[in-house]
Amino acid sequence: MAEHAAASQEELSDMGRTKTTPAMAGTDEGSSDLPNQVTSNGEEADAAPASEQAAEGLADEPEDYDAAADDEVDDASKDAARVTKRMSPVRLAAVWGVIAMVSLSGVGGWFGFRMYQSHQTQQQRELLIQVARQGALNLTTIDWQHADADIQRILDSATGTFYDDFSNRSKPFIDVVKKAQSKSVGTIIESGLESQSGSEAQVLVAVSVKTSNLGAAEQDLRHWRMRITVQKLGNDAKVSNVAFVL
């Protein structure tokens, strides 16, 4: 009985050991795998933030690219602004130089034209007055010894109605001068432009005339005032009318 009990007890012990061994084995294996699992879990945990960081890095790359592009654009704009600022004084000086040249040319041309007009007007005035003075001298300076030439000189400086009238009366006048042996010498006292309209002007001329003839060797000095109308013909001018003014 005792042997049977002991055998039974051994069997029970063996069975207990047998049941305990797999559990323990599982426990050992689980124990041996646990660090691996922990390590794997830790790696996975480390890998997850790394992945997240990589994803965030990829997500941030466009922003960084845009920022870099904006920085480049800003730098280019600043460079362009600096170039513009550097070029602006030169361009401004060039523009003002051109404007000044054009303005000076315009002003110079205008003054030149005005001076030319003034010069032309002055020359024409002087010509008209000179022709009137010469006409007055021709009319008051006649010598019986060369009356034909003196009368012809008057006709050469005349035009219009005055030329026609004096030409018709020139021969009888020459005959009277020669017959009376008349001689007259005129002297211009003063003259001035009275009015001017277009190519025609009226000039007042004051003359003193000294005369002599066969009956009176020398006569008193006479003073006459004439209003002589002068007409410009091309580059020349001639007397077109003569009137005595009291």
Q: Could you give the CA distance from residue 245 to residue 5 in angstroms, rounded to a whole number?
A: 190
Burial class (CB in 10 A: 0-12, 13-18, 19+), 127: middle
Instruction: Answer whether 100's CB lies under 8 Å from 162's CB.
Output: no
Give the three-state DSSP class for 237.
strand
pLDDT digits (tens, 9 = 90+) for 26-35: 434 443 444 4
At residue 212's C-alpha, the angle toward residues 154 and 149, to 5°, is 25
Instruction: Answer whether 131's CB lies under 8 Å from 205's CB.
Output: no
This prediction has a pTM of 0.57
**Predicted confidence band at 64 (pLDDT cuts at 50, 70, 90)?**
low
Residue of 132 and 218 predicted with greater confidence: 132
At residue 21's C-alpha, the angle toward residues 15 and 22, to 5°, is 105
Say which range, 57-61, 76-80, 157-161, 187-191, has the weakest mean pLDDT. Answer: 57-61
Q: Which two tokens mark 25?
A: 């084995």
Helices (H) and strands (E) in the chain, counts: 3, 5
Can you list the domains of the chain with their CATH numbers?
Answer: 126-245 (3.10.450.50)
What pLDDT sits at residue 107? 76
222-233/236-245 β-pairing: antiparallel
Say which range, 38-47, 74-83, 207-216, has the weakest mean pLDDT. Answer: 38-47
Q: Could you give the CA distance from residue 184 to residue 210 in angstroms, rounded to a whole number?
A: 6
Q: Could you give the CA distance from residue 56 to residue 59 in angstroms, rounded to a whole number?
A: 5
Instruction: Answer whether 115's CB lies under 8 Å from 211's CB.
Output: no
| Contacts (Cβ under 8 Å, ≥6 apart) of 34 | none
Rounded to the nearest angstrom, the gap between the alpha carbon of residue 32 and the centroid of all alpha carbons in its chain is: 99
**Predicted confidence band at 78 (pLDDT cuts at 50, 70, 90)?**
low
What pLDDT sits at residue 235? 85
- Please count the other Cβ atoms lying within 10 Å of the Cβ belonging to residue 134: 18
As a whole number, the mean pLDDT across the chain is 74
200-212/183-197 β-pairing: antiparallel
What pLDDT sits at residue 71? 54
**Predicted confidence band at 212 (pLDDT cuts at 50, 70, 90)?**
very high
- Please count the other Cβ atoms lying within 10 Å of the Cβ belonging to residue 187: 14
Say which range, 42-56, 145-159, 192-206, 218-232, has the weakest mean pLDDT. Answer: 42-56
pLDDT digits (tens, 9 = 90+) for 112-133: 777 777 777 888 899 999 999 9
- The span from the first CA to the last CA of the chain, in angstroms, equals 199
- pLDDT more than 70, % of the chain: 64
Q: Could you give the CA distance from residue 206 to residue 194 in angstroms, rounded to a whole number?
A: 13
Q: Is the pLDDT of residue 4 over 80?
A: no
